[in-house]
Structure 1
């Protein structure tokens, strides 16, 4: 029986990634680009209620080719309880030949952001809501443009077999000036919990803008460190 379950999940994985490959490589329109996202997402606990998040993203127009942008974000998070957190911080983005959603090409961006996250768990399923306000300074050559936008992300995670899970999210972006709509980002993928502090995910993401779409394979590594534990504190000294 166990071998049958394992076989079904291997078939499921194969079918899922075949579907991703078909979607990503089936784009004929040059406006509908297929690419890749590499994401590292970490949370570093420094106190009972305080932690430092860090996120790094490397994105390509085509799969692992034609560099699009590099992004890094950090800040400080306060945990009110098991269900809710508040984060504020900064981010930096450097892009090259970026098109589809931005006014500028070959631009750099500096962000200040605030976000609130609400999470609920039931029978292993995890549902989270994230609201974020961003102020972005976007510079191209001698031009500087300031943009304020809000984002709402709904995310769902469900274990499907032992340490394997399915993850999906949809995130809406709105400008606080005209035009109101900025973009929509949808993701669905499979992941594996390697340890209580490390997860990996791979899946399909569609970035929809007003005039174009960006389809990509998204691969992520999520980790947690706890510097309040004695063994971690000793290693850091």
Structure 2
């Protein structure tokens, strides 16, 4: 019974958004329809202060239709103190031309990034520097940008919470503005190591914007625990 209200709220939230977006689309008949992001992210603790973050994203231009890109990011994190963490790593993105137009090319990207995260009660600050090698069928372009995200999480009950963030992206070259992402949604703690969240994300670009339904799964694993370490050692001997 504890799961009923949060998931009913999620369902009604998504239903209302899809309905209003459908009405807007039938009235305007343009390409500015809602997309979807499926996000799975986790933190894998391997030492008292060291961990391996992993993030995977599958993005569609329309809700679960017209595949746009797949993204994977990983690295290594070092916990400086209970409230701050430094991370460095790599990422790979593969995008597809969903429009069918020759104006847009399929492309791949390889990133190297460094980030610092600072948690302060319900708020979390994240600063990131990215160097991206973007390649399509014709050329290779290198882009450097910085990102700042302010995240806010407010518990509603023991297992349910509101999650909201705003993240701005700035190029270290002209044009300065790259994009901005604003998100608000509802999260639910399934177990101490697994969380689900769903909500609405507005993605602003210089000359356009995109509405997104964002669905996420967050997990934690701790390989420093004795039971997991023993299980890993047993499998390595087989």
* Fold match (TM-score > 0.5): yes
Total equivalences in the alignment: 227
Separation of aligned partners in 2, 1:164 and 1:32: 32
1:167·1:190 contact (CA, 8 Å) conserved in 2? yes
2:166·2:180 contact (CA, 8 Å) conserved in 1? yes
Separation of aligned partners in 1, 2:140 and 2:5: 54
Counterpart in 2 of 1:163? 159
Gaps of at least 5 residues in structure 1 are none
SS of the residue aligned with 2:68? strand
Q: 1:18: Cα distance to partner?
A: 3.9
1:139·1:145 contact (CA, 8 Å) conserved in 2? yes
Gaps of at least 5 residues in structure 2 are 234-238
1:73 has 2:73 as partner: yes
Q: Which runs of 4+ in 1 moved over 6 A?
A: 5-11
SS of the residue aligned with 2:34? strand
**CA 1:48/1:104 → structure 2, altered by over 3 Å: closer, same or farther?**
farther
Counterpart in 2 of 1:132? 128
Counterpart in 2 of 1:204? 200
The superposition leaves residues 151-181 of structure 1 with CA deviations (integer Å, 9 ceiling, x where unpaired) of 0000100111220111000000000000000
The 5 Å alignment of 1:47-196 reads 47-97=47-97, 105-121=105-121, 126-196=122-192
1:24·1:216 contact (CA, 8 Å) conserved in 2? no
The superposition leaves residues 128-154 of structure 1 with CA deviations (integer Å, 9 ceiling, x where unpaired) of 000000000000113000000000000
Separation of aligned partners in 2, 1:191 and 1:83: 22
Separation of aligned partners in 1, 2:4 and 2:223: 40
Q: 1:21: Cα distance to partner?
A: 2.2
SS of the residue aligned with 2:17? helix
Q: 1:213: Cα distance to partner?
A: 1.1
Separation of aligned partners in 2, 1:136 and 1:42: 23
TM-score (norm 1): 0.88
Separation of aligned partners in 2, 1:227 and 1:162: 26
1:17 has 2:29 as partner: no
Over aligned residue pairs, what C-alpha RMSD do you find?
2.3
1:187·1:203 contact (CA, 8 Å) conserved in 2? yes
TM-score (norm 2): 0.88
**CA 1:67/1:228 → structure 2, altered by over 3 Å: closer, same or farther?**
same
Counterpart in 2 of 1:230? 226
Counterpart in 1 of 2:236? none
Deviates most, 22-31 or 41-50 = 22-31
